[in-house]
Amino acid sequence: MANFGKTIAKIRRAIRPFRATAVTTVAEKHRDPFRVLISCLISLRTKDEVTGAASRRLFAKASTPAKMLRLRERDIAKLIFPAGFYRTKAQRIREISQTLVNGYKGRVPDTLEELLKLNGVGRKTANLVLTVAYGKPGICVDTHVHRLSNRLGWVKTKTPEQTEMTLRKILPKRYWIPLNDWLVTFGQNICQPVSPWCSKCPLQKDCPRIGVRYRR
């Protein structure tokens, strides 16, 4: 499974019938780093359809950090409900908006180091902003990318950060930015965490299925 080109081509063909992730849809429509950042925060532990709807409601009221600060925390919470941990996320969204206004002149920073200084922003969110909003090289590794990279035998790692660092060494750079969108869509619909749809998978003849105990 080390032939990245062939494997990725099969994955891309397999995901054509499925929708792109909610955050990717936001990025493709607006190319606005603030919208991408906030949508990504909303998406954590939340289904894509909920993320998309919550983001649309929120941005209809406030699409910039300054406008977001005009909303009360409970107003933000109400707009993004039923996203997971919506009250905590509402607090974070307001805190980040305040930081952006006070420390960055209302602009989302475009470096990993500065993004990681924002409260509640980890490597996954920071890399997603850098790649899909700013078009800068990076690999966004979430649970799907981490799981699939190990399942396919690309890496042998225990944490998403280890997976990111290993992929940076072995994956051709042309695949870095779109990899998250491809693998998340593939992981949500075919190569699922428990009992993946191996019978429907174009990789079934070659996949080592590392860690798979049950499959359909």
Which residues belong to the active site?
A: 124, 142
Q: Which of 151, 153, 154 is nearest to 139 (CA)?
A: 154
Cα 139 to Cα 155: distance, rounded to the nearest angstrom:
14
Cα 215 to Cα 212: distance, rounded to the nearest angstrom:
7
Burial of 124 (0-12, 13-18, 19+ CB in 10 A): buried
Long-range contacts of 191-199 (CB under 8 A, 24+ apart): 191/147, 191/148, 191/151, 193/143, 193/147
Buried residues in 2-36 as b, exposed as e (16+ CB within 10 A): eebeebbeebeebbeeeebbbbbbbbeeeebbbbb
